[in-house]
Amino acid sequence: MGYFGFVAMNYQSFGGDRGSWVYNRIIIVRCDNVIPENKQDKQLVEHLLEEKEYIVSLAIKGLKQVINNGYRYNIPKSCRLLNTDYQIENNSFLSFMQECVIDRPNPDKIEDSCTTKLFYDVYKEWCKDNNNGYKETKQQVKKILVKMGKGETKKTNGGNTYYKAITLSQEAKRDYERVYNPDNEDDVPDSDVNCIDSEEANVELGISDIVEDDFSISDELQEEINNLMINS
């Protein structure tokens, strides 16, 4: 049996299972209409109860829309983007990827010193600065990269292992030089490297595979909602 509920809160991180099947059950609706204190209705609950029959009728209309849509919600693009942001914020490695990782222009030609070990070492150091030291394990990082299609590695003649598709940005290498290049050796940069496009990354992560249609609402229902907000 499936359960649905509504929770009013600020963004909040959580542990445990963080697969896409979890996030796909969350619809985030941002409420930006902050009412100034001098205009707040201190008897809002009482006023809402006075309109309870009308509010229930709105809920029934919404339920009919869901039933007619095969019990599937049409989720607006803005909510899908909030869901993606929430997943990234709730996963230190995804945040690290967004901030510090770039695509290699030529996956078959490794020109820098960013081994898989140095890549993870910099990630660990980044977590100390940005996530209270909490980090994903090497196994978890590998799973995420494989899911993104960026987990393939390559060994050079020297025996070092590199990620073929990705490397650290020059900025990240400079910021964490104490870890990446403690001996201050010259590191040949990859040229013409483009940052990972956020929308492409979201698709690769499989975290934007929610219903694509924008939520449609009838003019009549919108008018009723507007009236409710005015009367309350």
Please indicate whether residue 141 or residue 232 has the higher confidence score (pLDDT). Answer: 141
Number of domains in the chain: 1
**Cα 59 from Cα 65, distance rounded (Å):** 10
Query: Does a structural domain hold residue 16?
Result: no
Cβ-count burial 48-77 (b if 16+ within 10 Å, e if not): eeeeeeeeeeeeeeeeebeeeeeeebebbe
For 74, the 3-state DSSP assignment is: coil
Does a structural domain hold residue 133?
Answer: yes
Which tens digit of pLDDT belongs to each residue from 32-77?
788 899 999 999 999 999 999 999 999 999 999 989 999 888 888 8
Please name the helix (run of DSSP H) or strand (run of DSSP E) that holds residue 23, with its range, or none: helix 20-23
Give the separation between CA 36 and CA 84, rounded to whole angstroms. 30
- Asked if the structure places residue 15 within a domain, the reply is no
The pTM for the full model equals 0.56
Percent with pLDDT over 90 in the chain: 39
> For residue 179, what are the domain limits?
102-205
The answer to the question of residue 2 being in a domain is no
Return left, alpha or beta for 187; rule: phi > 0 is left, psi -120 to 50 is alpha, else beta: beta
Domain annotation covers residue 190:
yes
Q: 42: how many CB neighbours lie within 10 A of its CB?
A: 8
pLDDT, one tens digit per residue, over 176-222 is: 999 998 877 767 565 544 444 445 445 545 554 444 444 444 455 45
Q: What is the pLDDT of residues 97-124, one digit of tens each?
A: 999 999 998 888 898 999 999 999 999 9
Q: Angle, to 10 degrees, between the axis of helix 92-100 and the axis of helix 198-205? A: 150
DSSP summary character for residue 37: G
HEC states along 170-226?
HHHHHHCHHHHCCCCCCCCCCCCCCECCHHHHHHHHCCCCCCCCCCCCCHHHHHHHH
